[in-house]
Each structure stands twice: as C-alpha cells, then as structure tokens.
Amino acid sequence: MKNIPLLLMGCGGVGRQLLQHIVSCRSLHAQQGVHLRVIGVCDSKSLFFASDVITRELNDQTLYEVCRVKSNGSSLSALGDLGECIVYGNSESKRKVMDIAALLGKATGLAFVDCSASSETIGVLNQVVDMGCCVVLANKKPLTSIMEDYDKLVSFPRRIRHESTVGAGLPVIASLNRLLSSGDPVHRIIGSLSGTLGYVMSEVEDGKPLSEVVKAAKNLGFTEPDPRDDLSGMDVARKALILARLLGRRINLDNIKIESLYPDEMGPDAMSVEEFLASGIVSLDNDVQERVKKALLNGNVLRYVCVIEGSRCEVGIQELPKDSPLGRLRGSDNVLEIYSRCYNKQPLVIQGAGAGNDTTAAGVLADILDIQDLFP
C-alpha cells in the first residue's frame, strides 16, 4: 500500500468536504493501492497534528470531529482533548509546520494541501517546495502573488497541482498543459469563470433587473455574504491571471483590466451590504438593461468573461453571439473556449459546474492522487 502523508491548510467548506471525501473513498483507494494519511490540519489560529507524524495519522473519527468543530465556527483549539498534538498561535503553528516539512519532505514525502483563501500560506509554501514537498492548491492567492512567489512555486512543476483554482473540478489546467506540452500554442482564451456572474448575466438577459437577480442569487447561496465580492470581478481576474501565467505571460494582477459591476462609491468602504442591496444596486438597473437591449439589437448577448489574447488580459462584460458556446450559457455553469493551432476555427470547449465545495474538493482529491507516483 502506497502511503501519501498530507497536511491540510484551511478547514472551511472546501477543506471539510475534502476530509469527508478522503474518508468516504477509503475502500476505493485501498483497491487502487493508495492510502491518504492525514497527519495534520491547520486553520488561521492553530495546528492539530498526529502525535507521531512519521508513523501515525489522524484517524477517520478524528477527521469527522475536525469537520464538526469547524462547521460550528470553532477553532481547532477545541480539539485539545482528543489525545493528539496541538500548537496554538499563528507563528508557533508555522514553525511546527516547517519542522514537519523538514522531517518528512525528503524522507517519505509530504503533500501540502492549501484549501484556505488566505495569502498567509504563501511564505510557508515557498519554503516547503525546497524541502521536497508537493503542493496541491484550491487557494488562488499563492499563484496570483508577485512573479517571484509564482516562479518559486512552479519551479518543480511535477510537484505542484492546482486544477481546482480555475473551474473547480473541471479539467481546465490539465487540458491547457496537454496542449502546451504537445507544442500546440494557445493564442486565445475566452471564458465565463464565475458561476455567480454567469447566473446573473443569463438572468438579466431575460429582462430581470440586476438588483432583483443579485438579491435572488444571494438568497440561493450563489454569492458571497457580500455580493460585491463577486460583482467586483476580482475572483475572475485571479483565475485569468493563473491562466495567463500558464501561457507564459509575465504579468501581475494590476496588469489586468477589470470591470466591476458597481462603482467605487458603492464599495464596502462607503456603503454597508444592506445599503447596497436596498438602494445602491437599484440605481444600476437601467444602465445594465440598456446594455442588454443594445446587445439584443445586434443579435448578441452579454456575458461576464475573461479574455486572454496576445498581450491583452481583461475581465468584464462582453457582447457575444447568441449561438456561441458562451452565448448559449445558462445558469451557473462555467464555460471556457480555448483557441490554438489545432483548435483554430472550432475552439476546444470545456463546460460544467465550476463552483461548489463538493466539486472543488473532488478536484483537489484527484490532484492529490495524481502525484502518487512521487511517493515511495
């Protein structure tokens, strides 16, 4: 049986779902000759780990308890009576994580799995790659930091996987890597990479006011607690940056042109969420409706997309033909059109659910299994 030791950073929705996937797939993985040995879990305040990381692991009952405690909004420090080890405090946790990486990295190997949404993990990840550790990411921030951090992370390409940073479990990164490694240059990417904004744009196309659509999306759980986190376009911009860098573009976030669906005077610093939903966004309805009508007169529809072509990298609303893959998009699916030498007139189209804890965690789990040949 091949054992893959892993340490999980981030116990939010995706991290908890990943732990549940790992436990529920035990018999399947046993048939495949693989055992995922979770040796530690950390949140922003503490690190909870096996008393002997070389020979022991957090058992399945303990992992379920981790999920229960974190789903209640508590810290991992509440697990102090389970007989394993715990380190309190951010700096102490980081120090212990580095000790574990140094111990296991060159010996048995260790997979660092980042399911957080924090930039705090970047420093740790940059160091552990030099210790022989593998890195699996759902967190976009390490890959969208400055170029120096990005170069460090991808300096051992066989030891990093990040499929779930773009399109959740959709095979976006793998498909691009296959094209590029086969010498098929990609010259254009256009895609709808936000389930929230995909839903919003397809609903306003039907004549519904933007304000009503956003409120409905929030009630359905499609948006962040503050919908402006989605409407700003920043999440799409991070995904676009990951794709652009994969194509070899040496750019940063501030090189990307980002169209926000609300003006600065309605931002979080100027207006509460309640004020924004009650009065702010209503004032945007007419402008959006006018843009929808204009697009329809041209036989087009509006979609919030990222475009990567040549030196151009931007995210925002674009008019697109109704009969194109993006034009036919309905609901919260993601769609990506990739144009290359082989896929020139008819693009390679990737479509499916591009959000959700379950889908994202499944993508992370597949990435972990994809690096199993690197472990003894």
DSSP at 373 = G
Is 15 within any annotated ligand binding site?
A: yes
Is 11 within any annotated ligand binding site?
A: yes
Is 345 within any annotated ligand binding site?
A: no
Q: At what angle do helices 13-24 and 357-370 cross, to 10 degrees?
A: 60
The 3-state DSSP class for residue 7 equals strand
Residue that the structure tokens 């948006």 belong to: 223
Length of the chain: 376
| Backbone φ, ψ for residue 31 (5° rounding) | -65, -30
Is 354 within any annotated ligand binding site?
A: no
Residues of the chain by 3-state class (helix, strand, coil), percent to 5: 45, 20, 35
Catalytic residue from among 94, 96, 218, 239: 239
Pick left, alpha or beta for residue 257 (phi over 0 → left; psi -120 to 50 → alpha; otherwise beta): beta
Asked about 239 being catalytic, the answer comes back as yes
Give yes or no for a contact between 237 and 256, defined as CB atoms under 8 angstroms apart.
yes
Residue that the structure tokens 């054992």 belong to: 3
Q: At what angle do helices 285-297 and 195-205 cross, to 10 degrees?
A: 70
Is 10 within any annotated ligand binding site?
A: yes
Calpha distance 281→266 (Å, rounded) = 8
Calpha distance 251→244 (Å, rounded) = 8
Is 224 within any annotated ligand binding site?
A: yes
Q: How many CA atoms lie within 13 A of 173 on its CB side?
A: 27
Is 316 within any annotated ligand binding site?
A: no
**Over the Cα atoms of the chain, what is R_g?**
22
Is 13 within any annotated ligand binding site?
A: yes
Burial class (CB in 10 A: 0-12, 13-18, 19+), 81: exposed
Residue that the structure tokens 């008019």 belong to: 319
Give the chain's count of helices (H) and strands (E).
14, 13
The 10 Å Cβ neighbour count of residue 92 is: 12
Strand partners, 40: 7, 49
Catalytic residue positions, numbered: 239
Q: Binding site for NADPH: which residues? A: 140
Query: Where is the binding site for NADP(+), in residues?
Result: 10-15
Report the binding-site residues: 10-15, 140, 224
Pick out the residues of the known binding site for L-homoserine. 224
